[in-house]
Structure 1
């Protein structure tokens, strides 16, 4: 189980045990929303924190009596020389819990509330309400620290007196402290003071608190303020850090493990810190659990279940969870959510960090569905990359031994390629070559929610699904090109020249002035539908040349594409696109930016920023400068090769594009954040709504659904209507004729999934089959099986019903200008003419009205003609048909050269 994943054992329901009147047994334990108190030590007096005790077995002491006792104790202590300040001064200057102010860390959860990451200096989380604290926590704490908490008036008079006597006679100077006294000590930060005067001060403060706060409030304050080790402040933070659980889901054993840390900040009761040789954690846990049994709250079964396993300790307890697949979304350096949170909510990372007073404390709820995410990881994960070892010892790039696996060099096989551990037998690529990497993204049509995301095992590594590692989308992009053609009134029944190789006028200045269809030489033509289904490049280039590369780019952006990369001056430059409400499209350019002094723009951590704004920034020094897309230019900033998917983009963007197709042409802004809650559990308002536009007409989208309805791969089609497209892209010339990238992007009405497969070593490295050769590796053989497994797993997990696509007539015109000769005719041997034999442009063979007859015998009588005695011959015909028919009339019956 990965750090901070959900423990499948949520524990038994609240047992409560015998209820102390007004005590924990009286509350229902129902969780609140996802709220957090505004300060570490304070839950405001006006908040409903459960019921105050209705009755006591002993009457509460009167105020006068408490003051008498306090004065007596103070007098004794002062006579002993331990106190120097009058008790009245203590009493008047007790800091109230509401005056304590701290920042809190932010928790990031899946859509179902499962915590997956944290962000902050420390993990500091609070519970808003006493009702959120389960009985398991309350009674475990009281069993260890203060069994009579709901009975006394804040000061254990007998215990304090006994401690005083013991102190005077030379015994233990610590003495007894109630939870209220302990809390008072924490408020004053005097827990390290072992003087006699400390006890007096705690007693006075405890009495002051008992006047102003209910028992439930004091207990809530105490649990919120305590440090539980592992960088966790507050019981809510501790439950996440130690067990990956919400407080409400803790069982008895887990609750006891946490509360026994309240006086053990040094980790002496932490089994991962104390070490295997220490019995202290087990002894303390056993003691607490047996006390619970004596009190009647648990039976022997809870004890026999044993001390619970905890999560591994975190190097940074405040910021965690980023070394998992969802870490690509949450990591503070380039996680997707941070730009989105600023764009949609106006909140910066500093607002979430919680270092400053009254900051942080947010809960960010992701769109990621736990079931779909599980299916994504189960399908795509091949484990970590293998690491280099020498004699069984991990070593770094220099061959020096290292302790941590992450510090070791990646293992390279004899061919120089990385390999995965391949320890997930459920992975779709389990039987494939161990160097093959894959990435998957699932987007929900109609909402734009990202439901599943896998770009790799470690969110702090290279994201194969995202912006830092884009891939040429190859033939999956042809759906966008087809959409552009239909938008310009060319239907999916239009015909296009599929010759390969094929020269184009726009390539005259290029070293290679021809486009080829991968793996085939042909001299033929196809409908737009078949050109897409058969993955032909030359028709796509022709469409780009006819309507403009910029027109295709505009269509792609309308459908959800937000990034595209090309090489400029030998360096990769990534374009980010922005679409305004009025349809205006702008872009910013990103890459490694050299400054005037010869240095390079860096990130906060000192590393070179690979995504610096190449055109500089606006006055705020944060917002990249943008340029408006010139829709009048046919090929700027990208050339006509865009038509067949040459320029790299992200797996996420392609999933979005096909989600738009599946949603009948409606683009919904792709997003990872579902909701944001503030520290009080209130939903934080958006500053702008999510974008939603009709990118394509319903008819065009449904035409595209039809085009992709028969394209599948190895293993056959899924058992319901779908639309999709394979894609394959060649490797670098040094590996020719190998392929380097394969894709399958496809959707059902409820879900769009994009899958990519490539070599883990480099973008240019070749794809390999299980035997290590380059044969038989295509989108249909590698990426489609990944897509199919992920899609079927998601369908099962989500219970999606089978839904049919909507029907629509083929819109646009079945134009043929790309296959026509200069004189307007069409090759009669073409597939078009075979399909349309009556089209007069197909040039039915014939002469110029004949002329091969001799004109016949002008004096031939009807009887001679009947007896076949006349000389036969035809005159010069007046058409473009076959030769004269020899009937002697000279008209030659010319061939059909008109439309009729």
Structure 2
């Protein structure tokens, strides 16, 4: 196949040899005609010299004000900014002003593009010095004849000059300037360089300037990937870009023009007959106008950031390459899943819109962002007033718009409470309770199902999203302290704290979906926050990195606290009583933690959940806050969340198997199930913190009197009795030091919390013995006054007794106010005998095994209620034989 060749100057001396022969031939007197010819020749030489001089003067006149060719090519070329996905393979958007352009090297432009352009624009490009004299002469004659024509004989070199610095008016002055610059440019640069300048400069229509922008605009591919048919079509556009536009109404004319280009390429030997035939038959599919604008809400989010930081005009012309954090595969999954579910929501629940944000909690990078069901859709209902009465507004990015989060905000309050020393097993009461905080109106929340469940643990209350216990938790955690924690975790919208009260835990404030999703990422990442980032790096037009992502982790929560929250939010069994078993918060084989939210009157539905590697937030509802058909976030938002997470993991697992090597910046997910780290066992020093709502109040009771035992109550008459006490949590602890010794009975909320608990206890009826009061009086039977009197009459203390005596008479006296029941006789603490009536005397035979020396005799007297006294004496045994 013929190749484009460079022009080489040739030189011939034939003309000048003949002229010398004619001029210096010997004079012939008879040759008068020759003299005349010489005069004519001299005349024309003068004319030629004067003409050349005139041309030089004209050139000098116009050239003095023209730019240097180096300035022409060294100027800052307007290039549009490209926004890519995280791998750089998918172009999401081309940010441009009036000119959308990406400069590429000569080597990146296909040979077919070069050849097609030359044959249709300047067939002799490689064989002239920048000016086509025949074309200029033709244009001159046509203009003298008064004919209107666009034939000006402009070469590619001239067209480049005209499109860069000269105005397009058709005047001789402009033509002269054009010619001068063309010659200068041809002297300074090679033909290949000039052709490259031209192909990166010319307009192709639809704001596409240069071959790369044209390829992206009309075929959604890079110039280097263009086929012969596509190359010839783009070359066909340059004569009249608007008229021949693939997005216009002259497609038949465009096809004819393309075939003309192909015929020219064949004529000049650049393609074969077979290639000509195939190219003519190739069906070309043109990229529609809205294509080339992928992930539109995310792109506009990026564009807004770029304009704010670098300026709108700069990013439209600077040719930046912006490599975002977006995962194009996950984005496509998100868009489809969301659109499919919104169709069902709109039909069944009057929820006409939804939004989704997905973030890598380990880096903070945004992986997917869907701001509405369809960026390119139409408002609904038709003719609604945007910002006020539209159920659906396509261009509004709900992921960055403040909305009430409902119960999805609850984990922040529970996390703060756990930080203060409360435990997941801490008991609070789910009862109708009035909350009256100083400076605010009293507040009496209800549960989603209008039912109350009595004593519940923090774990139950959060997993089942119970409202009344959660309001108590926020009070215990502290409103300001909870707001501080939420802010540390990434929520920045709750700034005017004077607006918020205890209803905040039920979604009383407004937050952004993107922010709350990122904040949940702190739980997923075990207490470490990575700021949300949408961009990996930005390069300028020369490839210099002007901005680049660097990881900036910050510990904002203890790992144990984050693990406890994840443990609760992933507890399928614990949430089942409210959400059902295997609900949309459950994914087979994939441990997930999740929290739903539903605002008052069902205006918003939320679901935010995560694995250790991916956190996803979903909102569903109507743009104008119109209530839905009384369905919670579990029904309208959770299906989107569930399907996205499920498909994301399935796709990434399959994708990793097919790829030998992951591209740079590829986001991957583990094929194996990711488990949350188990939290450490938490044990506190109070029953109420350890899951026992009924605290055991133990007392020692005298079985005879039924009153509190004293030190005088006989041990065998003392029994331990338990009185279960049920009170609100403030009865047992101070909210600011829950494991300390102080209680909270002086707290301003105590009475409001205690009252419904006591009412609940009373409502339990017979057979339940909570809150029975133990005796307040002490044993009044076993007292000093009632103790028996006892004395030993015989033997006497320290008496000497012969061991050989047969019996020892032991005689005692005893009496008591309540009467003597019995008298016990003991020898060396061994019971000898018991007497139940008078006389209180016995005879004791000393056993032979008893040795000589000191021994003890004791007498105990007991009355009829167990009071007793004793008397002990010492005797001395000796062996004396008569």
TM-score, normalization by structure 2: 0.65
- The answer for the alignment partner of 1:882 in structure 2 is none
Could you tell me how far apart the structure 1 residues matched to 2:145 and 2:453 are? 108
Structure-1 separation of matches of 2:205 and 2:611:
48
Contact residue 440 and residue 453 of structure 1 kept, 8 A: yes
Superposition deviation, residue 670 in structure 1: 0.7
Q: 1:524 to 1:280 in 2, by over 3 A?
A: same
Match of 2:84 among 89, 96, 109: 109
Kindly report which structure 2 residues correspond to 1:588-603, keeping only aligned pairs within 5 A, or say none: none
State the match for 2:339 in structure 1: 381
CA deviations over 1:783-832 (Å, ceiling 9, x no partner): 21110111122223333223222233145747555887999899557999
Instruction: Give the match's secondary structure for 2:603.
Output: strand
Contact preservation (8 Å) 2:821, 2:864: no
**Residues 404-803 of structure 1 aligned to structure 2 (within 5 Å):** 422=343, 429=345, 432-433=348-349, 435-456=351-372, 457-458=374-375, 461=394, 463=396, 465-468=398-401, 470-493=402-425, 495-506=426-437, 510-522=440-452, 524-564=454-494, 575=495, 636=498, 638-685=500-547, 691-711=552-572, 714-715=583-584, 717-732=586-601, 739-758=602-621, 760=622, 762-763=624-625, 765-768=626-629, 774=630, 777-799=631-653, 800-801=669-670, 802-803=673-674
Residue 235 (structure 1) shift:
2.6
What residue is the counterpart of 1:328 in the other structure? 297
Deviation per CA, 1:377-432, whole angstroms, max 9, x where unpaired? 1011269xxxxxxxxxxxxxxxxxxxxxxxxxxxxxxxxxxxx8x4xxxxx74874
Q: What does residue 365 of structure 1 align with? A: 323
After alignment, is 428-437 or 255-264 more displaced?
Answer: 428-437
Kindly indicate whether the alpha-carbon contact (under 8 Å) linking 1:718 and 1:792 is maintained by their aligned counterparts in 2: yes
CA positional deviation for 1:219: 1.3
Q: Offset at 1:751?
A: 0.9
Matched, 1:228 2:194: no
User: 2:304 — aligned with what?
Assistant: 338
The 1:526–1:64 alpha-carbon spacing in structure 2 relative to 1, beyond 3 Å, is farther
Match of 1:859 among 812, 821, 830: 821
Are residues 1:268 and 2:230 paired? Answer: no
> In structure 2, what is the Cα distance between the partners aligned to 1:842 and 1:64?
128
1:264 counterpart SS class = coil
**Distance across 2 between alignment mates of 1:139 and 1:496:** 81
Asked whether the equivalents of residues 599 and 605 of structure 2 are also in contact (C-alpha less than 8 Å), the reply is no
Residues of 1 paired with 2:370 and 2:336: CA distance? 10
For the aligned residue pairs, the C-alpha RMSD in angstroms reads 4.5
3-state secondary structure, aligned to 2:605: strand
Q: Match of 1:563, SS?
A: coil
Aligned twin of 1:184: 161
Instruction: Answer with 749-758 or 821-830: which moved more.
Output: 821-830
**Residues 253-264 of structure 1 aligned to structure 2 (within 5 Å):** 253-264=229-240
**Contact 1:726–1:784 (CA<8 Å) still a contact in 2?**
no
- Report the alpha carbon displacement of residue 719 of structure 1 after superposing the two structures with TM: 2.9
Report the number of matched residues. Answer: 656
CA-CA distance at 1:706 after TM superposition:
1.1
Distance in 1, matches of 2:328 and 2:823, equals 97
Say which structure is richer in strand. Answer: 2
Check the 8 A contact 1:443/1:451 in 2, yes or no. yes
Partner of 2:702: none
- Rounded to whole Å, the distance in 1 between the matches of 2:12 and 2:546 is 44
Distance 2:45 2:584 in 1: 84
* TM-aligned CA deviation for residue 309 of structure 1: 2.1
Deviations 1:440-463 (A, max 9, x none): 110111111111111212288563
Q: Does the C-alpha gap of structure 1 residues 436 and 847 become closer, same or farther in structure 2, counting only changes over 3 Å?
A: farther
Which residue does the alignment assign to 1:807?
Answer: 678
Matches of 1:173 and 1:477, distance apart in 2: 69
Output the CA distance in 2 between the equivalents of 1:753 and 1:349.
Answer: 31
Cα distance in 2 for partners of 1:822, 1:74 equals 126
Assess, with a 3 A threshold, how the Cα gap between structure 1 residues 431 and 165 changes in structure 2: closer, same or farther.
closer
Q: Give the gaps of 5 or more residues in structure 2.
A: 15-43, 377-392, 573-578, 654-668, 699-722, 733-768, 787-817, 826-834, 837-862, 869-882
Q: Quick one: higher RCO (CA 8 Å, sep 6+), 1 or 2?
A: 1
User: 3-state SS of the aligned residue for 2:563?
Assistant: helix
- The Cα shift of 1:850 comes to 9.3
- Flag the structure with higher helix content: 2
Distance 1:336 1:176, change over 3 A: closer
Gaps of 5+ in 1: 1-17, 24-54, 66-71, 315-319, 355-359, 384-419, 423-427, 565-574, 576-588, 590-634, 733-738, 769-773, 834-840, 864-868, 871-885, 892-900
The structure with the largest alpha-carbon Rg is: 2
CA distance in 2, matches of 1:745, 1:673: 23
Query: Using the alignment, how far apart are the partners of 1:887 and 1:699 within structure 2?
Result: 61
How has the CA–CA distance of structure 1 residues 780 and 150 changed in structure 2, closer, same or farther, with 3 Å as cutoff? Answer: same
Do 2:85 and 2:92's aligned partners in 1 also have CA atoms closer than 8 Å?
yes
User: How many angstroms does 1:80 deviate by?
Assistant: 13
Indicate how the Cα distance of structure 1 residues 815 and 220 shifts in structure 2: closer, same or farther if over 3 A, else same: farther
Question: d(CA) in 2 for partners of 1:130 and 1:679?
Answer: 16
Q: Tell me if structure 2 keeps the 8 A contact 1:480–1:552.
A: yes
Matched, 1:211 2:65: no
Deviation of 1:499 after TM superposition, in Å, equals: 2.4
- 1:601 equivalent in structure 2: none
CA 187–122 in structure 1, closer or farther in 2 if over 3 Å, else same: closer
Counterpart Cα distance in 1 of 2:514 and 2:605 = 15
Change (3 A) 1:166 1:742: closer
Q: Distance in 1 between matches of 2:540 and 2:484?
A: 38
Counterpart of 2:106 in structure 1 is 130
User: Aligned-pair distance for 1:248?
Assistant: 3.3
Contact 2:607–2:638 under 8 Å retained in 1: yes
What is residue 351 of structure 1 aligned with on the other side? Answer: 314
